[in-house]
């Protein structure tokens, strides 16, 4: 019985760099990886009611401009990703930007992160998108309790070396 479970664990964790041979989670050792320029782009979406969109676009949300606050929140979140995601390496970001694009049903959120380091910035870009969306939600929830955040994904990754 124990052996079968172990075999299943091996199959389930094979290829996962954050899991050691004993099945314990760990931070990946990047000591030997070369320092290279890296960039990642992530996107997500927040769906808002027509009324909420009208209020956001006319600048009439009581808490202020959720789009500007979301941009700042996304940048700050990217900088703090290692504090939020337990096994992420802290990275010296050289650039982070969050853009919001009006869509028919809300906003598309795009975050770009860059660094010169031994590991990539995918989690920083993804975290920026997620926190920007949550910030809009927080600022608009008084007028729209049915907002939907979703479709958060990595769309581009550059730099580093392939193993």
In the sheet with 106-117, reading across from the earlier edge strand, the strands are 93-103, 106-117, 36-47, 148-159
Catalytic residues: 138
Q: For residue 132, which of 51, 52, 76 has the smallest C-alpha distance?
A: 76
**Contact between residue 44 and residue 151 where contact means Cβ atoms under 8 Å apart:** yes
**DSSP secondary structure string for all residues of 30-49:** -TTSPPEEEEEEEEEEEE--
Angstrom distance (rounded) from CA 10 to CA 4: 10
Beta bridge partners of 100: 109
């Amino acid at each position: 019985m124990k052996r079968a479970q172990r075999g299943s664990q091996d199959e389930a964790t094979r290829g996962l760099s954050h899991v050691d041979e004993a099945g314990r989670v760990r931070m990946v050792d990047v000591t030997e990886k070369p320092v290279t320029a890296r960039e990642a782009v992530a996107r997500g979406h927040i769906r808002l009611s027509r009324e909420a969109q009208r209020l956001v676009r006319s600048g009439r949300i009581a808490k202020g401009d959720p789009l500007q606050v979301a941009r700042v929140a996304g940048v700050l979140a990217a900088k703090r990703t290692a504090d939020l995601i337990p096994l992420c390496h802290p990275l010296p970001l050289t650039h982070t930007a969050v853009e919001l694009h009006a869509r028919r049903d809300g906003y598309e959120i795009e975050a770009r992160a860059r660094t010169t380091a031994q590991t990539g910035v995918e989690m920083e870009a993804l975290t920026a998108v997620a926190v920007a969306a949550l910030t809009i939600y927080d600022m608009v929830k008084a007028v729209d309790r049915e907002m939907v955040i979703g479709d958060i994904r990595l769309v581009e990754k550059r730099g580093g070396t392939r193993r």
